Structure formats: structure tokens, C-alpha cells
Amino acid sequence: MDNISIRIIQPILALILSPLLFGIINRTKAFFAGRKGQPLFQTYFDLWKLVHKGVVYSKTTGWIFRAGPIINLSAILLITLFIPLGHSKAVIFFDGDIFLVIYLFALIRFFTIIAALDTGSSFEGMGASREAQFSALTEPALFLALAAIACGTGKLSLSEILVSITSKFWLSHISIILFVAATLIIVLLTENARIPVDDPNTHLELTMIHEVMVLDSSGPDFAFIVFASALKLWVFTALFAGVLIPDIGFGFWPNLGICVLAVLCVSVVVGIIESCIARLKLLFVPHFIFIATVFAVLAMVFVLRK
């Protein structure tokens, strides 16, 4: 019984808490800018408002544009079932679920991009092109980082990998953990359209990546997109926190508490990063991603040296 509740609580927490992350990031940024900032629960309000609105579809669009948000949200919901919180087993896990998760992200990307192209807008085309470029470059980094940690723990599923990160393992493999975490944070910033790769708050369509791809979405469709991106941020932060913070050994509930706290802290860190550095020139973004790949390769070197 306890086992089932442990497993079920993880995706439920993700569903409930993920929109909070945007609020935390925005409040952190507001704090650094000396502003009061929007309410912490602004994303919840936005979602509530959006689902009660009608939709405007562009006359250029077809079924792809209407299917995109639904496929995206479904895929990310499926992914949350694989993401363990607090070093326990997730709802579903099996050897090699890493690949399924990464390729479900690819499914999301595929449909986000073609939904953007479905509008025929040059701005959305521009965003789609950049999304395709940056994510193609992050994929090897993410794969190699996860390969390094899988190699270190000797496990092939996300759940078992994170379960294996005990404090003992953490101490003996600190170099690997740090390099993998460094890769993951860069991938997190890139994949979730944060500064220094993308600025979610900019007001010039020309400079956006992710926001510009959903310019034409509205109503419940846009609510699905916002919720999906909140969940995506949650998934990446949970993964990052799970790798960086070891199992402290007091059982599941304390671990879960620490993990959720860590996820919230990571969003504060993202807010700090966004406040402290400017967005990179687009031409330099690939260099930034190459750094992630370098970290991942270094992690791999350290694993194999052991």
C-alpha cells in the first residue's frame, strides 16, 4: 500500500507544483531587479483563465496545429511517470527507459516545430529553425551525461540510477556527479528556453525561440502548451536535483521533501542565473551547448578512469 502511494505521489506532485516553478523564477528575477513582481501563483491564474477562453485558429493552419499541443502535453505527462523523485522507483521503469524519455522529448519537439511551421508565419519558422538547431546539439550532451551516470551506477533505468546515488556513491563519484550536473544544468537552460539561450520575457519576436513558436496558439491550446512547458521544467529540475543530491538514507519521505525543496531551489538558481547574465548572441549559443558536451565527455572520462 505504502509502495503504491509512494509511486503515485511523485507524478501528482509534479502536476500540482510544476506551474509554481515559473512563479518562483519570476519572483527571483523581480527581487534582483528591485521590483515586487507577479504573484507566485500567477501561472495557475493564467492557466485557469486560458482554459475558460475560446480559441482563434489561423486560417493557414490544419490539423497539425490543433494536434500539436495535445500530443505535447500527453507526451510530457507520460514522461513524468518515468521521473523518480526522492530516490525511489518511479511509476514505470525498465532497463532503457532513458532512451524512451529522451525520444519522447524528441516527439514533443517534432510536433512543436511542425505546429509552428503550420502557421506559415516567418517568425514562427525562425523560432522553429533555432529550436531544431539547439536541440540537435544538446541531444549528444544529454545522452552522454546520462550514459556517464548510468555507467557509474551500472544501471540502465532512470529510477534505478537515481536509487543508486547514495551518499556513499556520491562521495566516491563526486567528480562524475559534478560534471553530469553541470551538463544537465546547461541542457536544462537550453531545453526550457531560459537565459542565456532564450529569453521567455522578451517582447521582440525576432529574438525569441520558444515563445515565438507558439505565437498563434490561444485558449485551451495555449494552456496545454504552458502546462507542458511547466512540466518539462519540472522534469529537468527533478532530474538535476536527483543527480546532484544523494539519498540521505532516512527513507522515502524525507528524501522526497529534500528533493522537492531542491527542485524549488533550482528554480531560484535559474532565476539568479537569469538575473545575472545577459542572453547570449544567437551565434554563440552552439558554443555554450558544446561546453555541455565537453562536461559530459569529461564525466565519461572520469567514470572510465575508475
Partner 1 sequence: MFYYSIKIFLVGVFLIFFGGILSLLFWRKQKLSILVGTLGAVSGSILGLIPAIKVLLSGGKESLYIAWSIPFGAFFVEIDAISAFFLLCIFILSIITAIYGSRYLLEYKNKSLAKAIFFFNVLISSMAMVVVSANGMLFLICWEIMSIASFFLVTFEDEHKHVRQAGIVYLIATHIGTAFLLVMFILLGRESNSLDFDKFAAIKLLPSSMASIIFILSLVGFGTKAGLVPFHIWLPEAHPAAPSHVSALMSGVMIKTGIYGIIRVLTFLPNPPLWWGWLLIIVGAVSGVIGVLFALAQHDIKRLLAYHSVENIGIITMGLGLGVVGINSGSQILAILGFGGAILHILNHALFKGLLFLGAGSVVSAAGTREIDELGGLGKNMFVTSVTFLIGAVAICGIPPLNGFISEFLIYTGSFKGLITKQLDLAAVSIIIIGSLALIGGLALACFTKVYGIVFLGEPRSKHAMNVQESSMIMLVPMIILAALCVFIGLFSSITINWLKQCISQIAGIGPDVVSSQILPLSNILIKVSFAAFCLFAAIAILLFIRKKMLSAEKVSIAPTWDCGYAKPDARMQYTASSFAQPLVDTFKMILRTRKITEPIKDLFPVEGQFESSTPEVSRDYLFNPIFRVIYLLLGRLRWLQGGNIQLYILYIALTLIALIIWKLR
Closest contact distance (angstroms) between CB of 73 and partner 1 is 6
Nearer to partner 1, 36 or 59 (CB): 59
As a dihedral over the C-alpha atoms of residue 259, residue 261, residue 266, residue 267, rounded to 10 degrees, the angle is: 130
Closest contact distance (angstroms) between CB of 151 and partner 1 is 5
Nearer to partner 1, 58 or 175 (CB): 58
Closest contact distance (angstroms) between CB of 65 and partner 1 is 8
Nearer to partner 1, 102 or 273 (CB): 102
Are 43 and 267 spatial neighbours (Cβ–Cβ below 8 Å)?
no
The DSSP element (H or E) to which 84 belongs, if any, is none
Q: What one-character DSSP code corresponds to residue 278?
A: P
Nearer to partner 1, 92 or 264 (CB): 92
Burial of 238 (0-12, 13-18, 19+ CB in 10 A): buried
List of residues 6+ apart from 295 with CB closer than 8 A: 141, 145, 179, 180, 182, 183, 186
Closest contact distance (angstroms) between CB of 154 and partner 1 is 5
Nearer to partner 1, 28 or 183 (CB): 183
Closest contact distance (angstroms) between CB of 1 and partner 1 is 23
Q: Across the strands, what pairs with 166?
A: 247
Amino acid at site 255: N
List of residues 6+ apart from 141 with CB closer than 8 A: 183, 186, 187, 289, 292, 293, 295, 296
C-alpha span between 211 and 215 (Å, rounded): 7
Nearer to partner 1, 231 or 259 (CB): 231
Closest contact distance (angstroms) between CB of 182 and partner 1 is 18
Task: Report the SS3 class of residue 1.
Answer: coil
